[in-house]
Amino acid sequence: MGILRPLVLALVTVALSTAPGSAITAEQIQECARAAHDWLKSQQYTEEDVGKVIEYKDRSGQKATYEVKPEDVGAFPMSYKSDVTYYCLPNLHTYVVMDTLLTAVEVGYPVDKDMVLKALQYMWNVKGKYQRKEDPNGEWAYWARIKDGKEIPSAGLTAKFALPFFRARQAGIVPDDKWNEYKPFLEKVINWLREGPNLQKEDKGYCWIDYPDRPGGAHGITDVTSYCLRMLLAAGTSPDDELILKVVEWFLNNQDEKGNFYTDPRDTGCPYPLYTTGHCRAMIALCDWLEAVQRAGKEDELKDLVERVKNALKKAIDYLLSLRDPETGMWGRGSLSEYPPDYGSTASALVALLRCAKLGLIDPNHEAIVKALEVLHGQYLEAKRLRLPFYWYFIRSVWSPELRYRSQTLATSYALAAFALAEKLGVGKGVVKKRKIFPVTPAVVALALAASLLTRRR
């Protein structure tokens, strides 16, 4: 009986134990970050893929094939390589993966540098509907849309493609020989954004249109302007440069009373509005500006504007939190009445919130942040259990509403940035991993009674 008593007591303790309030641990955050990083690496097109013939269904649902070309090396698909839809093909949205990978790099996460370099080379050599071009005057350069044999410069694509080159160089990833190859063109890109016709000098500030025939481009003028501002800052433009200050004013004047930045008619009227993500990208652009002010030591000089931007970001945080589904702790692409919560939008919101947390504008252990990280971790475990070929995804796309799951690569890249930021900010530190709670079966109840009797006899 001396052996039985402690054994019974141990079983009862495990069976009846309850964990404290739900919380994610630092170890779980690290596990998810590593899983996201490694999965992304496995989805990048490499030299080994060249010549492979991919069978997939095109937009009309018809069977089609695509042979991977040398210039596809370094690209990411929007979904995943073994998918059977056209989203499995090498895709221009590689820029999203690069943006989030470099966010992880900038907070010290050990991202595979070769993955970054290959993606940069893909973006440099991209062919087809969009290509890298120079203006005949020889002073401007950009990425252009090729339509009916004409080159139509895109401010959005130019900024989205050029931004990772500057960030990767700052992070020490791009070697000197490659930078010497990229630099002359990228300097002309800076000139074009500063002087070209896509820059709009409006009463409420400066912004950029994507194309003359489609000012908001695919995702809205706020999306375009966010990337243009970030690219110029990453290129080393001073945060007190007159053009930069005018762009910051445009964001502040465009924010509505609720705190939403995604309000311009050229946002909501674009073909594929990104209500949540577009708002988040504006938040990130202003975070980039605040960090540039800090690096330049100009906080006192720009004190009034810094305070206005911080207050605007606090309102933007409140607005973003208001978009959250209170039941699941997740975000959707926009209004929850139209877009159900999904993991990609949730990860996107987390990146914006954690960038603000890095500046002290919100507690990194805020309940909404911790809950959303838990949700992403829970989905990671569920995907492993079900042996899915992916972990996280967007849902019910505005592009293809018939597809329930899509944009897995983009969602995973946001998740990596979110977990890397959370790890850097110490979210989950000191939280003890919960013990597994076993169901209290009749047998366990019987053991509990036996333990009670044994204890009383003593």
**pLDDT given for residue 113 in this prediction:** 98
State pLDDT tens for residues 60-72.
889 999 999 999 9
Q: In this model, does residue 124 exceed pLDDT 80?
A: yes
**pLDDT given for residue 445 in this prediction:** 34
The vertex-416 CA angle with 340 and 274, nearest 5°, equals 35
pTM above 0.75, yes or no: yes
Give yes or no for a contact between 316 and 255, defined as CB atoms under 8 angstroms apart: yes
- DSSP states along 368-395: HHHHHHHHHHHHHHHHHHHT-S-S--EE
31 confidence band (pLDDT: 50, 70, 90) = very high
High-pLDDT (> 70) share of the chain, %: 87
Q: In this model, does residue 402 exceed pLDDT 50?
A: yes
DSSP single-letter state for residue 46? -
**pLDDT given for residue 438 in this prediction:** 36
**pLDDT given for residue 458 in this prediction:** 38
3-class SS shares of the chain: helix, strand, coil, % to 5: 55, 10, 35
Q: In this model, does residue 395 exceed pLDDT 50?
A: yes
* Start-to-end CA span in the chain (Å): 11
Domain 23-433, CATH: 1.50.10.10
- Half-sphere exposure for 32 (CA within 13 Å, toward CB): 35
- Give the domain ranges of the chain: 1-15+434-458, 23-433
Q: In this model, does residue 10 exceed pLDDT 50?
A: no
State pLDDT tens for residues 303-312.
999 999 999 9
397 confidence band (pLDDT: 50, 70, 90) = low
Q: What is the mean pLDDT of the chain?
A: 89
- Distances in Å between the Cα of 225 and the Cα atoms of 1, 121, 230 are 75, 24, 8
Run of H or E residues at 407 = none
